[in-house]
Amino acid sequence: MENIQKYGVLICLRCHDFRSQDLFLGIVLYFSIPCHLLVAYLIELAVARSAQASRKRKVRASEKTFDDYNDNNNNNNNNNNNEKNTSGVDGVDGNEDAGPSEEDQRAFRLTWIVAAFLHGINITLALAITTFVVYFHVHHPLIGTLTELHAIIVWLKTASYAFTNRDLRHAYLHSSPSSSSSSSLASSSPPDKSTDIGATAADEAPAIPELYKSCPYPQNITMANLVYFWWAPTLVYQPVYPRTARVRWVFVAKRVCEIFCLGVFIWVASAQYAAPVLRNSLGKIASLDVFSILERLLKLSTISLAIWLAGFFALFQSFLNALAEVLRFGDRSFYDDWWNSESLGAYWRTWNKPVYTYFKRHVYVPMVGRGWSHGAASCAVFFVSAVLHEIAVGVPTHNIIGVAFLGMFLQLPLIAMTSPLEKMKLGHGGRILGNVIFWVSFTIFGQPFAALMYFYAWQAKYGSASRTMGGTSMSTSMSTSVGDSV
């Protein structure tokens, strides 16, 4: 009531603050970004055909070696022909079990270098073109945020598609009975939890999970398989995913209703409550009134948290579950109870499990497996994530000021400071202390401060000409980018 008495009703159903050019470019980018997935498919298709030819040559060479050995034995007229023939078979198999030769390894590495180079150019162009168009030609921050997030998701998925097929190709070319039966990866890591076949060294054939055997490499290199991965609510590629028996359309309808209601709530809260607080903060920031800025942060923290929680629920609980149900996607582990986090490290491991699983599989575990320290691997994960955060927030708001980057990268020292609370034997009190530290840093010095800084930078750049858009759309886009970004 106080807000309405002071500012009036700020909701306008007929008003919109985006240009037709922004909407047009957003639609064009949305449909053009997946074209880079098509390029990735063509690259993998060419490499898969090369792998098939290489395997056929290897099989023919093995058969020729076996036949030559038998011919030599027959010419010797040895009385122990049967025993030697048996040992000859074992010898051929034994050579296969011994693993790939150095020549095979060089050929595989050369093929991967060429494929990785082409994939690198492809995914770089996918992100660079979108970033350029959004930064220089899409003025509306919300449209820009949604477009940039789509580009980042496709960038991550394309990289996962390349990495996983590299490992599957290596297993296809250098498979052995012993590796497929004795590896702990196949037995201890369920495939629906993103089995870390990418964590094996480059010269070792990774084990193939049982689930993958229903669509073995290179049979998985099809457009239908890739399109399913594009839409699937996961960032980590697998040839096969756990599937449900049927689609529950009532369940889908409930999730769609939740998305609609929460979307309306976010819009109303942003326009009616967040926008006035942000606008009233401009003078305080310009005059560097520290106490007034802190008061604005505290006031903004309440509505910012409400918007963020609504966005989180709409995305991770409603949208991803609805999408998974339509696609009959079986693995619905999108988040854990992050609100009970006893440290910042626990929060980052539980709040966004698709992203956590992605970086663990494709960055952290491979680096540790190749001899890097756990600290260096963690720094690499947070550095890449920080860069993507800055792109997701700074580019749509046309202000690359580094707040999102620092806010993400500086999580490392905060994690180091709060992680002892998880290990200390302080009982329930220690867990509460860690949870309090998490919530204070999250609700006061996290989301509100970032929103305030980017809003101030937006107004400093565009001024009062975009006052309405700066309030409503900026607050909405900030909540969207934080809730959806990596």
Q: Tell me the pLDDT tens digit for each residue of 148-201.
A: 999 999 999 999 999 999 999 988 887 654 443 333 333 333 444 444 444 444
Answer yes or no: do 143 and 45 share one domain: yes
Q: Is 389 a catalytic residue?
A: yes
Compute the distance between CA of residue 469 and CA of residue 456 in angstroms, rounded to an integer.
13
Tokens of 415: 């994690």
> Sorting pLDDT into bands at 50, 70 and 90, what band is 7?
low
Residues 165 and 277 in one domain: no
DSSP bridge pairs for 243: 329
Q: Residue 47 domain-assigned? A: yes
Q: For the whole model, what pTM was predicted?
A: 0.82
pLDDT band for position 361 (cuts 50, 70, 90):
very high
DSSP string, 190-247: -GGG---GGGS-TTS-PPPPGGGGGS-TTTT-SHHHHHHHHHSS-SS--SS--B-SS-
**Which residue out of 16, 389, 398, 428 is catalytically annotated?**
389
214 lies in the same domain as 279: no
Query: Residue 256 domain-assigned?
Result: no
3-state SS class at 183: coil
Same domain, 367 and 276: yes
Is there a single domain that holds both residue 84 and residue 162? yes
Backbone torsions φ then ψ of 410, nearest 5 degrees? -75, 0
Which residues are bridge partners to 329 per DSSP? 243
Instruction: Quote the domain boundaries for residue 107.
Output: 35-231
Examine the domain organization and report whether 223 and 368 are in the same domain.
Answer: no
Residue where a domain terminates, one of 187, 215, 231: 231
Q: How far apart are CA 30 and CA 150, in angstroms?
A: 7
Phi/psi of residue 329, nearest 5 degrees: -80, 125
322 shares a domain with 195: no
Give the model's pLDDT for residue 70. Answer: 55
**Cα radius of gyration rounded to whole Å, the chain:** 27
> Of 420, 74, 25, 356, which Cα lies nearest the Cα of 193?
356
Q: How far apart are CA 285 and CA 65, in angstroms?
A: 79
pLDDT value of residue 207 = 65
On whether both 297 and 189 belong to a single domain, the answer is no
The number of domains in the chain is 2
Within a domain: 3? no
Q: Which of 188, 211, 231 is the last residue of a domain?
A: 231
Residues 212, 354, single domain; the answer is no
In this predicted model, which residue has the larger pLDDT, 294 or 10? 294
Output the CA–CA distances (angstroms, integers) from residue 150 to 34, 130, 247, 392, 407, in the order listed.
Answer: 9, 9, 25, 10, 22
Same domain, 279 and 192: no
Task: Determine, yes or no, domain membership for 309.
Answer: yes
- Residue with the bigger pLDDT between 469 and 62: it is 62
Do 138 and 280 belong to one domain?
Answer: no
Q: Do residues 212 and 291 both lie within one domain?
A: no
Residue 428 lies inside a defined structural domain of this protein: yes
Q: How far apart are CA 423 and CA 65, in angstroms?
A: 59
